[in-house]
Amino acid sequence: MASVPNFLPSTNGLAFVNSWPSEPDVVVQVPGYGPVGIGNASNGLCGGMAFAVRDVFEAKLLPITAPQPAPGSPLFKYPVRRLIDSFDVPAGVAKYYAWMNTPDGDVRLWFVVHRGVWWRTAAEEWPKVRADIDAGHPSCLGIVAVRSANPVDLGRNHQVLAYAYEQDGHHVILSLYDPNADLDKADEVRVSFDTGQPSQAGPIVSNIDIADPVRGFFRLPYTPADPSGL
């Protein structure tokens, strides 16, 4: 067992959930045209919220307890900016898309083995997440929840923050901050899996608040930002 000291979603998470009105994420001024909205907050800011929570925690600042911010306010703009950072364009978006088009289990073609989502999760990504938590840092995760070749379905994936784990042999239970979870259930979000046979697709059991089942996850690259202005 290991956990990030002094971190709990009910205490350190944002005091509002990932539910936003239909407003542009960003408004830019286009010369000769005027203001143009990019993105839509109603699609969610989960990655930006997860990054913002880690930023505040790593900076050793008091948790943000403000209510749901209005579009255009500093507390809205910050997770929007961090959402863009969490996508790690273009490599991050390409990774989501590649995993969306990868089978769950390994596929063998003659002497070549094409690794599936499950092997990549259990053998490659989980050790990185465990190392973050062992070092006392929450770990930002990209949740792959859909099998699709349609780029529009990228938005059906999700982003969370892992802060604790229990491991009994090959069985692992990860505790998560899920931006979609209500505050009264924030400390109860889990994902569990077994790493014993990574070449075969194993079930991932989760109560993450998304419509699709979890197929796998990977550790997101994280660079801190300064949240002190909030």
* Average pLDDT of adjacent 10-residue blocks, the chain of 230 residues: 96 92 54 53 83 97 93 90 89 91 88 90 96 98 93 89 96 96 94 88 90 95 94
**Hey, what amino acid is at 110?**
W
Residue-level pLDDT at 112: 87
Q: What is the 3-state secondary structure (H, E, C) of 78-122?
A: HHHHHHHHHHCCCHHHHHHHHHHCCCCCCEEECCEEECCHHHHHH
Q: CA 199 to CA 197: how far, in whole Å?
A: 6
The number of C-alpha atoms within 13 Å of 8 and in the hemisphere containing its C-beta is 9
Mind giving me the DSSP string for 207-228?
--SSSSPP-EEEEPP------T
Residue 179's contacts (CB-CB under 8 Å, 6 or more residues apart) are 13, 14, 17, 18, 44, 45, 46, 49, 50, 159, 160
Unique residue bearing structure tokens 């379905």:
153
Residue-level pLDDT at 43: 73
